[in-house]
Amino acid sequence: MALLDLSEEAAQLSRQIDKKRDDLRGRTLINLFFEASTRTQSSFELAGKRLGADVMNMSVDTSSVKKGETLIDTAVTLNAMRPDLLVVRHYSAGAVELLSQKVDCSVINAGDGSHEHPTQALLDALTIRRHKGQIDGLIVAICGDVLHSRVARSNILLLNALGARVRVVAPSTLLASGIERLGVEVYTSMHEGLADADIVMMLRLQRERMISSLIPSQREYFHFFGLDFEKLARAKPDALVMHPGPMNRGVEIDSNVADDVRSVIREQVEMGVAVRMAVLQALARHLPNR
Amino acid sequence: MHEQDQHRPPRAIAFVNARLIDPSSRLDQRGGVLIQDGRIADLGPHIEAGAAGEAMLIDCQGHVLAPGLIDMAVLTGEPGHEHRETLATASRAAAAGGVTTIVCMPDTDPVIDDAALVDFILRRARDTALVNVHPMGATTKGLLGEEMTEIGLLREAGAIALTNGKTSIANAKVMRNVLAYAKDFGALIVHHLEDPSLAKDGVMNEGEIATRLGLRGIPAAAETIVLERDIRLVELTGGRYHAGQISSRASLDVIRTAKLMGLPVTCGVSINHLTLNENDIGSYRTFFKMRPPLRSEEDRRAMVEGLAAGDIDVIVSAHDPRGAEGKRRPFAEAADGAVGLETLLGAALRLYHNGDVELSQLLRALTANPAHLLGLEAGRLAKNAPADLILIDLDTPWVVAPERLRSKSKNTAFDGEQLQGRVLVTVVAGRVVYNYADDPGP
């Protein structure tokens, strides 16, 4: 909650002409991305710069991983450059935690495999709170590829903790085994899963899922699980439509729904910067001073 | 002991004042054992200090004297990955763990799929190993599951059994032919149970924990499907079949049914699946990544019950040495397997101390049963049997310190764990190959 309040302040700051603070002056922030990302990486970069940090972006493509350097060697190498903050995204679950054990600085998880994406959940919670005033008691339907989604897992954890009723809606092949044990209601029909929902959160569907025969075709997926106005009509009239991006228009979401007044997808991006500023500020208070 | 001593006849040894436990004859009584010329010359209550004569006298102080352990699933790195483990280092680990016979897997580089390679292992073992070593041959060339190996020639060269190592034969026809052909040579087929398509991409047991960790799961059905198919093929061929490691209650039920049908089917379980479960993975601890994966606590309980009831025949260490380069990685990318030779007995004794399994039943699955399956003379305390035996202190607690393990690789799932009970003396073919008093640790 304190983080969300801090994020609100950061959101205010980001709308001013002068967006600069000096919380992180003299500090070095490294964005270490083992997996391509546009919005997460750029919003961490902006957040760091607005707080006065020196920001360096490192993209470690798979080719250099294949050269044989292990994650731990990479971590040790970077650690020797004495960064204060390390923002890490990795394609493997648990990799960020493993890396954090090997470095001295603060590490922020910017997404690890299908495990977690905590700042995404925070920015989603912030966006919801700005529109609904609170999160407690809201019905949130998370729809789509839950099996592979770190966004879904982090949102389930955070929104549950904040008192929301969380549902997941997906075909059985895209539901993770035992997901109901995470405190969610499970639906395999959008019609039922979206009934009276306050929030409809769509997840990105990757094309690989069709190759591995988890779903038969894009056409069939959109027919049953793509968010269009008809399915959205099942939700509350003032329901918010969310998507962590990047969207596949016409696959998991109808283009017109994505651009509808109920869609807060662009605001999610704006809150992304604010939340990441708040996270960095909160960590800055705990950085060693000498 | 030193290698130059190996070719001299061993001195006679008299173990006295012991609690003799021999699962094969249901013996559990006070007494002693007299060893001469590498064999058990005599045993019983009448073997006392006065009867020792010329023999080296060992006063057991009431500790348990039992047959040495026979471990049916040991991977070494020889040939091909000697930096992980050699036959020599594995045998030192075995001796310190009370394992007097290791059966090594053919998953080496090259794969043990040719008679000359069986011969290589046997020679290397003769020259460098402290304990008995029996290689298993591959059932298919390169363990690829496609072409049958020269099973007859492998047997003649000394392959004690045949197995497709850490992979299942996916093709049912190949499996049928292997079972049928091996039957003509009286060869036991030991099979790994894992449907490759269901297990693909999986790195741990499927379920809530995997979902929370964001890791791909392997359903227990991946094991049961292969097992059920194999049982049908055993029914068809009459081949002798041993499921190397089962890990789930469903598989145990299949084994029970097959045994009731009177089929020549047996099964093993790893010490890991008897004493650990998927929760031990915690936050991505790669030393707990193994195949089959650690299952639920419910499945672990089933394994313990199956062992206690005698439905599970054999306990293996599933010793699988892996270096830091394989284990210090994100979980999904890390190598499978854990070392186990030195912790096998101590971990197994947990089941005895908990009251889950009787001592003689526990030891039976580590001695007499594997000996019977493999047609070995060892694994029992009896007159004229090979003098492979161990003296066990059942009660002394100790803490597993990886750096003190004799294995070249330190990937133990029992890192820092307290175990209760350990080996004091290990004798192989009448020679003392390990003595705790001279060589404490791990």
Query: What is residue B11's predicted lDDT score, i.e. its pLDDT?
Result: 85
CA dist., res. B274 & res. B291, Å (int)? 14
Catalytic residue chosen out of the listed positions A19, A21, A28, A39? A39
Beta strands in chain A (DSSP E): 28-33, 54-59, 85-90, 106-112, 139-143, 165-169, 185-187, 199-202, 240-242
Beta strands in B75-207 (DSSP E): 99-104, 132-135, 137-138, 162-163, 189-191, 204-205
Whole-model pTM: value is 0.93
Above 70 in pLDDT, residue B332? yes
Q: Decide if B325 and A70 are in contact by the 8 Å CB cutoff.
A: yes
**What pLDDT digit, counting tens, does each position of B336-392 carry?**
999 999 999 999 999 999 999 999 999 999 999 999 999 999 999 999 999 999 999
Query: What is residue B7's predicted lDDT score, i.e. its pLDDT?
Result: 59
Query: What is residue B90's predicted lDDT score, i.e. its pLDDT?
Result: 98
Q: Decide if B284 and A98 are in contact by the 8 Å CB cutoff.
A: yes
Q: What is the mean pLDDT of the segment spanning B88-104?
A: 98
Query: What is residue A220's predicted lDDT score, i.e. its pLDDT?
Result: 94
The DSSP output letter for B402 is G
Question: In sequence order, what are the residues at sequence separation of 6 or more whose Cβ sits closer than 8 angstroms to the Cβ of residue A279?
Answer: A3, A47, A108, A119, A122
Q: What is the mean pLDDT of the segment spanning B35-43?
A: 96
Query: What is residue A137's predicted lDDT score, i.e. its pLDDT?
Result: 97
Catalytic residue chosen out of the listed positions A27, A50, A90, A117? A117
Q: Decide if A178 and B284 are in contact by the 8 Å CB cutoff.
A: no
Work out the pLDDT band at B146, boundaries 50, 70, 90: very high
What percent helix, strand, coil does chain B show, rounded to 5?
35, 25, 40
The residue whose two tokens read 């072409």 is B147
**What pLDDT digit, counting tens, does each position of B247-300 carry?**
999 999 999 999 999 999 999 999 999 999 999 999 999 999 999 999 999 999
Above 80 in pLDDT, residue A29? yes
Work out the pLDDT band at A2, boundaries 50, 70, 90: confident
Q: Is B182 exposed, middle or buried (0-12, 13-18, 19+ CB in 10 A)?
A: buried
Q: What is the CA radius of gyration of chain B?
A: 21
Query: What is residue B3's predicted lDDT score, i.e. its pLDDT?
Result: 46
Active site residue A39: yes
Among A181-185, B8-12, B355-359, where is mean pLDDT lowest?
B8-12
Above 60 in pLDDT, residue B12? yes
Q: What is the mean pLDDT of the segment spanning B11-39?
A: 96
Query: What is residue B421's predicted lDDT score, i.e. its pLDDT?
Result: 96
Query: What is residue B304's predicted lDDT score, i.e. its pLDDT?
Result: 98
Above 50 in pLDDT, residue B165? yes
Above 70 in pLDDT, residue B137? yes
CA dist., res. B15 & res. B32, Å (int)? 5
Above 70 in pLDDT, residue B4? no
Above 60 in pLDDT, residue B68? yes
Work out the pLDDT band at B51, boundaries 50, 70, 90: confident
Grouping H, G, I as helix, E, B as strand and the rest as coil, residue A19 is coil
Minimal C-alpha gap between A168 and chain B (Å) = 14
Query: What is residue A132's predicted lDDT score, i.e. its pLDDT?
Result: 97
Query: What is residue B133's predicted lDDT score, i.e. its pLDDT?
Result: 98
Averaged pLDDT of chain B: 95
b/e sequence B266-285, b meaning 16+ C-beta within 10 Å: bbbbbbbbbbbbbeebeebe
Above 70 in pLDDT, residue A8? yes
Above 60 in pLDDT, residue B5? no
Token code pair at residue A226: 């793509």
Cβ proximity of A224 and A197 under 8 Å: no
Question: Nearest-5° angle of CA B427, CA B7, CA B342?
Answer: 30
**Percent of the residues in chain A that have a pLDDT greater than 70, as a whole number:** 96
Question: Nearest-5° angle of CA A139, CA A144, CA A145?
Answer: 125
Q: What is the mean pLDDT of the segment spanning B396-412?
A: 95
CA dist., res. B389 & res. B40, Å (int)? 10
CA dist., res. B189 & res. B241, Å (int)? 5
Query: What is residue B438's predicted lDDT score, i.e. its pLDDT?
Result: 85
Work out the pLDDT band at B1, boundaries 50, 70, 90: very low
Strand partners, A32: A58, A88
Q: Which residues of A touch B219 (CB under 8 A)?
A: 177
User: What are φ and ψ of residue B57, in 5° steps?
Assistant: -95, 130
Taking CA atoms, what residue in A is nearest to B217? A177
Q: Which residues of B touch A34 (CB under 8 A)?
A: none
Averaged pLDDT of chain A: 93
Residue A117 contacts B where some CB pair is shorter than 8 Å: no
Query: What is residue B441's predicted lDDT score, i.e. its pLDDT?
Result: 61
Query: What is residue B49's predicted lDDT score, i.e. its pLDDT?
Result: 86
Residue B341, CB-side half-sphere exposure with 13 Å CA sphere: 35
Cβ proximity of B59 and B49 under 8 Å: yes
Query: What is residue A289's predicted lDDT score, i.e. its pLDDT?
Result: 67
Q: Decide if A70 and B329 are in contact by the 8 Å CB cutoff.
A: yes
Active site residue A148: no
Among the partner-chain residues A98, A115, A181, the one whose CB lies closest to the CB of B213 is: A115
Grouping H, G, I as helix, E, B as strand and the rest as coil, residue B22 is strand
Active site residue A67: yes
Active site residue A89: yes
Active site residue A40: yes
Query: What is residue A206's predicted lDDT score, i.e. its pLDDT?
Result: 79
Above 60 in pLDDT, residue A203? yes
**What pLDDT digit, counting tens, does each position of B288-322 carry?**
999 999 999 999 999 999 999 999 999 999 999 99
Query: What is residue A261's predicted lDDT score, i.e. its pLDDT?
Result: 96
CA dist., res. B315 & res. B422, Å (int)? 17
Q: Which of B179, B183, B184, B186 is nearest to B164 (CA)?
A: B179
Cβ proximity of B408 and B321 under 8 Å: yes
Q: Decide if B283 and A181 are in contact by the 8 Å CB cutoff.
A: no
Query: What is residue A65's predicted lDDT score, i.e. its pLDDT?
Result: 60
Query: What is residue A144's predicted lDDT score, i.e. its pLDDT?
Result: 96
Work out the pLDDT band at A273, boundaries 50, 70, 90: very high
CA dist., res. B318 & res. B103, Å (int)? 10
- Which residues does B contribute to its contact with A (CB < 8 Å)? 206-217, 219, 283-284, 325, 328-333
Among the partner-chain residues A93, A177, A181, the one whose CB lies closest to the CB of B332 is: A93
Q: Angle between the B115-128 and B87-97 helix axes, to the nearest 10 degrees? A: 60
Q: Which of B301, B318, B281 is nearest to B207 (CA)?
A: B281
First to last CA, chain B: 18
Q: What is the mean pLDDT of the segment spanning B406-435?
A: 96
Work out the pLDDT band at B6, boundaries 50, 70, 90: low
Q: Decide if B210 and A177 are in contact by the 8 Å CB cutoff.
A: yes
